[in-house]
Amino acid sequence: MSALNGKTIVLGVCGGIAAFKAAALCSKLTQAGAKVHVIMTASATKFVAPLTFQTLSRHEVAIDTFDEKDASVVQHIDLADRADLVIVAPASANTIAKIALGLGDDMLSTTLLATTAPILVAPAMNVHMYANPAVEQNMRTLADRGIRFIEPGTGQLACGYVGKGRLAEPEDIVRAVELHFAERGRLTGKRVLITAGGTVERIDPVRYLTNDSSGKMGYALAEAAVRMGAEVTLISGKAAIPAPSGVKLVRVDSALDMLEAVMSRLPDQDVIIKAAAVADYRPAERHEHKLKKSDDELTLTLIKNPDILQQIGELKTHQFVVGFAAETRNIEAFAMDKLRRKRCDLLVANDVSAEGAGFGTDTNIVSVYDRSGFVEALPMMGKREVATHLLHLIADRLGKGETADT
Ligand code: PMT
C-alpha cells in the first residue's frame, strides 16, 4: 500500500507556466490514494482551468476566500486543519514572499497561515528571479521555520533562459512526499528531549560568561525530530535563531537552570540528546548589583558546574542517551572516554577546530561512536542534514530496542 493512502494533501498552485505540471502532480497523488484538495491563486487560473484540477482530484477547487460554499465551515480554516501536508507547486516568488512575511490576502496564503501541517514548497521561476537576493532571503526564512523545499531543476526555461528554475518533475515531488510520510512515522509516539545553545553564567546583572554556541545544531535536531513524528521538548540556552515550530520550548539561562529543566523531565522521555554547550564552571558569586570598577585587577573565582549528561547517565532507566563532544584533539580517545563515563548510547564528536565544524557554523563534521567504538564519520554537511542522519540512526537503534544497558 502506498505511503500516501488516505492522506489529505492540500496542493497550492501558483501562477506560472509550470502550473500545467501541477495537473500531473495532482493526478499522481490522487492515484497513490491521497485525498487532494487544490487551492489555486487567481493568476494560476490564467494558466490552467480549475476544472482540470477538479476533474483530477474529484474535489472542488478553492480560489476565492469569500466564496464560501459550505456555511458550516470556514473553508480556508477547514482545509488548513484537515491537511496532513500542504504542497505549494509551483511556488512563485510572490507566494514565497507572502509566506515569509505572513501575508494572507487570498485563499492560498490564508490557508498557509492557518495550517499547522508540514509544508513542502517546490519553486518555479525565471533563473534570475530564483537567484535574486530577496527571493533567496525569503527562502532562507522559510527554511529556518522548518518549511522544506524541493529544488527546481536546471534546463531550458519557458521564458527562454537556460538555468535553474524549472519546477521539479511531478515524479520527484511525489517521491519527496512519500519520503516525508515514511520519515514521519519513524519517531511517532516517542518523546525526545534535546538541549541546545550555550549556557549563560551570570557575574552580575549585566555581565556573564558564555560560549559561541548558536543553537543551530540542537535546533536542527529538534526540527528533524518533529518532522519524524516525535513529541519534542527543546531546552535551550542562549541561541541566535528562532525555535523550530512544533517543539515545546523551555528557555534556560545557566547550567543549573538546564540541570533542573532536564532532570525534572527525564522520567517521561524516550530519547535525550545533549547538543548544548554547557559551561563547566560558573562564578562562585553572582553579584546582586553591577560591579564597580576599582582596582587594576579583578579576580573571579569559578566553581564547577554539575555535569548534566553524567547525571542523566547515572539516573536513566529506559532512555536512549546521546551526548555530543566538542574536541580539538585526540577525538576518538576523548569521545570514547566521555561516552563511557557518562553512560551514553551514542556519542557525536565534532572537531570544533576544523573549518566548517562546531560552533556557529551552518555545517558540521561529526564522527559517531557507540559502546563498541567507532560507528561512522560523516563528511561536511549542513547541520540539518547531520541532524536528519543522526535521528535516523537513533530511530534504527530504538527499533532494535537498544540502550546502553542492553
Ligand atoms: O550550537 P552550534 O553553534 O550549532 O554548535 C554546536 C556545538 C558545537 C555546540 C555542538 O555540536 C556540540 O558539540 N555540543 C556539545 C558541546 C560541549 O559542551 O561539549 P563537551 O565535550 O564540553 O561536553 C560533552 C557532553 O557533556 C555534551 O553533550 C554536553 O552537553 C554535556 N555536558 C557538559 C558539561 C556539563 N556541565 N554538563 C553537560 O551535560
Report the C-alpha gap between 2 and 179 in whole angstroms.
Answer: 11
Q: Is the pLDDT of residue 281 over 60?
A: yes
Instruction: Indicate if 196 and 133 belong to the same structural domain.
Output: no
405 within domain boundaries: no
In this prediction, residues 380-392 reach a mean pLDDT of 95
Q: Is the pLDDT of residue 406 over 50?
A: no
* Ligand 1 centroid, distance to 21 Cα (angstroms): 46
Ligand 1 pocket mutation, candidates 309, 312, 329, criterion most atoms within 8 A of CB: 309
Instruction: Indicate if 281 and 386 belong to the same structural domain.
Output: yes
The string of pLDDT tens digits covering residues 232-244 is 999 999 998 889 8
Instruction: Indicate if 236 and 347 belong to the same structural domain.
Output: yes
Report the C-alpha gap between 348 and 389 in whole angstroms.
Answer: 12
Q: Cell for 177?
A: 512526499
> Contact at 8 Å (CB) between 302 and 281?
yes
Instruction: Indicate if 211 and 352 belong to the same structural domain.
Output: yes
Instruction: Indicate if 200 and 236 belong to the same structural domain.
Output: yes
Instruction: Indicate if 112 and 90 belong to the same structural domain.
Output: yes
In this prediction, residues 376-393 reach a mean pLDDT of 96
**What pLDDT sits at residue 403?**
63
Contacts of 211 (CB under 8 A, 6+ apart): 198, 199, 277, 279, 359
> Contact at 8 Å (CB) between 243 and 163?
no
Closest to 325 (Cα-Cα) out of 190, 252, 187, 217: 217
* Ligand 1 centroid, distance to 114 Cα (angstroms): 36
Nearest CA to ligand 1 atom 20: 325
In this prediction, residues 238-265 reach a mean pLDDT of 95
Q: Which residues pair with 234 in a beta bridge?
A: 194, 249
Ligand 1 pocket mutation, candidates 263, 324, 341, criterion most atoms within 8 A of CB: 324
324 within domain boundaries: yes
Ligand 1 pocket member 349 (CB < 6 A): no
124 within domain boundaries: yes
Of 138, 166, 183, which marks where a domain is finished? 183
**What pLDDT sits at residue 244?**
87
The string of pLDDT tens digits covering residues 109-153 is 999 999 999 999 999 999 999 999 999 999 999 998 889 999 999
The string of pLDDT tens digits covering residues 182-193 is 898 899 999 999
Dihedral over Cα of 25, 30, 32, 33: its sign: positive
**What pLDDT sits at residue 405?**
52
- HSE-CB for 36 with a 13 A CA cutoff: 29
Ligand 1 pocket member 352 (CB < 6 A): yes
Closest to 338 (Cα-Cα) out of 317, 367, 358, 359: 367
Total domains, the chain: 2
The string of pLDDT tens digits covering residues 4-39 is 999 999 999 999 999 999 999 999 999 999 999 999
State what percent of residues in the chain have pLDDT above 90.
88
Instruction: Indicate if 239 and 370 belong to the same structural domain.
Output: yes
Nearest CA to ligand 1 atom 13: 326
Distance of CA 211 to the CA centre of its chain: 23
Instruction: Indicate if 105 and 139 belong to the same structural domain.
Output: yes
Domain hosting 33: range is 8-183
Cell numbers 527562502 correspond to 139
Concerning whether 159 is annotated as a catalytic residue, the answer is yes
**What pLDDT sits at residue 339?**
98
359 within domain boundaries: yes
* Ligand 1 centroid, distance to 360 Cα (angstroms): 13
Give φ, ψ of 63 to 5 degrees: -130, -50
Pairing of strands 8-13, 35-40: parallel
* Ligand 1 centroid, distance to 327 Cα (angstroms): 10
The string of pLDDT tens digits covering residues 350-371 is 999 999 999 999 999 999 999 9
In the three-class reduction of DSSP (H, G, I as helix; E, B as strand; rest coil), residue 54 is classed as helix
**Strand blocks (E) in 151-304:** 153-156, 162-166, 191-196, 201-204, 207-209, 231-236, 248-251, 271-274, 281-283, 302-304
Ligand 1 atom closest to the CA of 327, numbered from 1? 21
Q: Cell for 100?
A: 515569509
404 within domain boundaries: no
Tell me how crowded residue 388 is: count the other CB atoms within 10 A of its CB: 20
**Strand blocks (E) in 41-183:** 85-91, 119-123, 148-149, 153-156, 162-166
**What pLDDT sits at residue 395?**
96
Instruction: Indicate if 312 and 344 belong to the same structural domain.
Output: yes
Report the C-alpha gap between 237 and 218 in whole angstroms.
Answer: 10
Ligand 1 pocket member 308 (CB < 6 A): yes
Instruction: Indicate if 55 and 113 belong to the same structural domain.
Output: yes
Which candidate in 14, 26, 159, 344 is catalytic?
159
Of 183, 211, 235, which marks where a domain is finished? 183
Which CATH number do you get for residue 300?
3.40.50.10300
3 within domain boundaries: no
Reported confidence tier of residue 385, pLDDT bands at 50, 70, 90: very high
Ligand 1 atom closest to the CA of 361, numbered from 1? 3
Q: Is the pLDDT of residue 404 over 70?
A: no
In this prediction, residues 56-84 reach a mean pLDDT of 93
Nearest CA to ligand 1 atom 36: 307
Instruction: Indicate if 104 and 214 belong to the same structural domain.
Output: no
Of 158, 183, 208, which marks where a domain is finished? 183
Q: Is the pLDDT of residue 194 over 90?
A: yes
**What pLDDT sits at residue 295?**
87
270 within domain boundaries: yes
Using CB atoms within 10 Å of the CB of residue 279, give its burial: 0 to 12 exposed, 13 to 18 middle, 19+ buried. Answer: buried
Report the C-alpha gap between 49 and 44 in whole angstroms.
Answer: 8
The DSSP element (H or E) to which 370 belongs, if any, is strand 366-370
* Ligand 1 centroid, distance to 82 Cα (angstroms): 40
Least confident of 76-85, 179-188, 215-224, 320-329: 179-188
Q: Cell for 405?
A: 544497558
**What pLDDT sits at residue 196?**
98
Which CATH number do you get for residue 79?
3.40.50.1950
Report the C-alpha gap between 342 and 336 in whole angstroms.
Answer: 10
289 within domain boundaries: yes
Instruction: Indicate if 277 and 131 belong to the same structural domain.
Output: no
Ligand 1 pocket member 199 (CB < 6 A): no
Q: What is the mean pLDDT of the chain?
A: 95
> Contact at 8 Å (CB) between 349 and 335?
yes
> Contact at 8 Å (CB) between 110 and 65?
yes
In this structure, which amino acid lies at residue 279? A
Contacts of 118 (CB under 8 A, 6+ apart): 85, 86, 146, 148, 180, 227
Report the C-alpha gap between 61 and 77 in whole angstroms.
Answer: 15
Nearest CA to ligand 1 atom 8: 358
